[in-house]
Structure 1
Amino acid sequence: MTALHLAVYKYETRRKLDVLELLLKSGANVCLKAATPPQANKLSIVRHEVKGMSDVPLETKKISLDQKTSLLLALEMKSALYLRGWEYRHWDPVLKLLANATSKLLLEKGVHERSPLHDIAVFINHGWNDVFESGNHSLVEVHAEGKDFSALRILLRDASKKIKLNLDSTHMNKLELKDISFTVAKAMVKFIYTGSVDQEFMDHRGIDLFQAAHKYGVELLKTLCEVQIIPTQDNWIKLLTAANDCESDLLTLKCARSIEDVMLKREENIYISRSSFADTRFGGPNQLFQGPDHVN
């Protein structure tokens, strides 16, 4: 656990940003992942009482720390600190601070989005040219989640070194895709055939497809997923976890920017609400009862 992770962990009780800000200004690496604590794999987080609800018992939530960045840890802690519909918005400044620091670090590192469409077109043309030139139309049974479908062996072999090794290491015309769903397996093979993924599928299962592409070494599909996946509040934790596990700086950057944008909008809304409330102190509500001919 780094000092930055510890500061995030302690924020729930301290409610101050000073230590986090000091560590970041001192050069702490916000993208550094935490190692597993020596004697515990999880942190114990206490769900604190909400004012006016003292009769509600305290709860403890366990959060795994291993291989998490400070931003992901903060997201998971905020998610754990929900209590009967109460959202712990006091974590928003932490998320904004860490998301901003993450974005800056990755941009300085040169992380940016690039279109993979040209490389995908070359890949698809090469694959089908190999099918035509070789005259080899032998099929492989692709097995996932207890179901099978057929695909051209030569296209699958050309798709990635991992799949080629898998096929060449067995004497059977069968490819076992473990730990991924049948739907995701079909989408991955469809990409190998066509070079495309439906955006609707990407919106709903894009993170799963990205993880499958990483696991089986289909790099162009992984790159396409990085470009097409859209970060939302509903997928921040899952997306950042996948980005961490699959070493995707681009998805980490996109997620950090999304978090930062949402936190800034919340700040603006709070400011507008407070300004509107302040206006009522100067006769705002009385205007509701004044006639159209009233002159101040």
Structure 2
Amino acid sequence: MSVAAGLEALLDFYVSAGADAWLESEPVDAFALAARPPVARHSASNRAPLDGTPAPSRAAVGQDDAARPAASGRLRDGPAQDRPRPVAQPPAAVTTASGAVLPGDEAVVAARDAARTAATLEELRETLARFEGCNLRLTAKSLVFADGPANASLMFVGEAPGRDEDLRGVPFVGRSGQLLDRMIEAIGLSRGDVYITNVVPWRPPGNRTPSPQETEICKPFVLRQIELVRPRVLVFLGGASAKALTGAQEGILRLRGRWTQMPLGEGDAIKAVATLHPAYLLRNPVQKRLAWRDFLAVREALGSLQAG
């Protein structure tokens, strides 16, 4: 990545996070401030006056407060819009031995219950649009739900949307999406024949990697999408989506090309395979040969299932 591209990504992260203005006209050296010795803090009731007279006692201060005019009371008990509003706290989180942060049970249960109530993909989209359990929705410009027919035989699942996807509200429409379109066409299909979605439906600020907490909260919704679409073949685009939905621990170069069964509930399962993410292929063009092998295997699997 060039210096200019890196700075642009950094500024985009700041704007997405809500930092769109400087607070000081001059830069502040935070390291120099941290090196200073701490300054003792004194409350107004304990600070001695500069003229040497003794400070008033706590009891006297309380009496003075009680004797103040009602104007100060109106400041404390004024209209609701003048008082600071309480900040909603996120559900309790748990840190595992490996250092991963997992969501509290309340957030996961809420996501599962919300996803389970949707009987159609349109209901699931509406439910997800109302769901407030993931803070990514506060910084993303749009919900990036899915693209493609509800009865598609082939389904792709990526990790999370990027900048272009966030602007348009459609998954895989940027450079990596354009490459994915060409890969799909290379096996005799078109984008309109397949269903495409992500594990996380909101863009993380600055295109950062979704946290384990964010992924875990969003996972019930993509699992419900898989159950509703019921494709013949499921393809994980990249190691992140494969690990999130199968629990695999290996890297993508070990996972790719290995077929597995993705359970759908009630004893049903579909064929699933992982392949390299198009964004990875843009950075490593030499690996396109591996992705081509995976797509040929997908085409063969679709043909055998349709023939059967």
Is TM more than 0.5 here?
no
| TM-score where L is the length of structure 1 | 0.21
Q: Work out which of the two has the higher radius of gyration on C-alpha atoms and give 1 or 2.
A: 2
| TM-score where L is the length of structure 2 | 0.20
